[in-house]
Amino acid sequence: MKNKLLVALVGFLLAMPVAVATAKDNPKMKPFIMASKAAGEMAGTVEQVTGKLAAAGFEIAGTYSPYPAATIIVVTNEGLRQAAAQSDFGGYAAGQRVAITDVGGEIQVAFTNPRYMASAYRMKSDLGAVADALSAALGNQGEFGPDTGMTDKELRGYHYMFGMEYFDEPSVLAKYDTQAAAIAAVEAGLAEGRSGITKVYRIDVPGKEESVFGIAMDGSKGEGTMQDDAYIMSQIDFKPLRSSAHLPYEMLVSGGKVYALYARFRIAINFSDLSMMGSNSFMSIMECPTTIERALTRAAGGKVKKPST
């Protein structure tokens, strides 16, 4: 009996380091990192943040204000572009988003968590160097977003619920004979502001036929509130720490085809704890996925699908 107890105890003790290592090596992550929050003013903070990003070696791909209380700065660098080149549809992560948001006089500076985005977009790189560089430049007061984070494995296989889209089930907005023709069509549609969709930035992925466009969506000039950046965020971004860095949406041109992550994935990956029903829920934006898809299809020069009957 004593020998059996001793063997069991030794086995338990040997197993402990493995369990600890597993938890440590598979941390739960959240989509955003709060860099700083303090009383201040928007314009001056935007200027300061832009300077810090440039000093840290980041290139400003684009800047826009989806509504008066928020300014989004999209950054890239050679490391991000190379990581994108190594991954299928890696262009979605070629730009990281930094948000400056005025929340009742408190200026919150936050950015997308590169490690989280690397997992969500199934990258080969964990973008750890980018995460460290952004934290060093802007600060890091911790991750935030959904109440419960997700591990790398959970993110790589994520969808909101049964029957909803995964990362590898995007909308195909348009198809062209060549990559150059696809790029030209998207550039023309965005310059025109077709369906209220305009260009925030473009990042070309090196060594492959792939470019990502960040886009602003204005419902008043397109399909209405269900495609509007400001309206959508008014429904889903209601916590004290604001997730403004969810924006902007993207269109990806790869191999002559124009794609966009389907909104039921693109929204849910950053707001995975939104309830299905009630106020501030997915029900309040139920029509957004199909509305956004129609607007982006028109902007890309594609053919809008007829509603199923």
Element (H, E) at 211: strand 210-217
Domain that holds residue 107: 32-299
- Which pLDDT tens digit goes with each residue over 226-265? 999 999 999 999 999 999 999 999 999 999 999 999 999 9
Residue 199 inside a domain? The answer is: yes
CATH of the domain at 283: 3.30.310.70
Q: What is the pTM of this model?
A: 0.90
Buried b vs exposed e over 58-85: b needs ≥16 C-beta within 10 Å?
A: beebbbbbbeebbbbbbbbbebbbebbb
Residue 264 inside a domain? The answer is: yes
Residue 254 inside a domain? The answer is: yes
Residue 69 inside a domain? The answer is: yes
Specify the range with the lowest mean pLDDT, choosing from 123-132, 150-159, 274-283. Answer: 274-283
Closest CA to 31 of 144, 123, 165, 160: 144
Residue 20 inside a domain? The answer is: no
Residue 19 inside a domain? The answer is: no
Question: Is the per-residue pLDDT at 16 higher than 50?
Answer: no
Please count the structural domains in the chain.
1
* pLDDT recorded at residue 265: 97
* Partners of 254 in the β-ladder: 210, 257
162 Cβ contact list (under 8 Å, min separation 6):
none
Residue 24 inside a domain? The answer is: no
Residue 14 inside a domain? The answer is: no
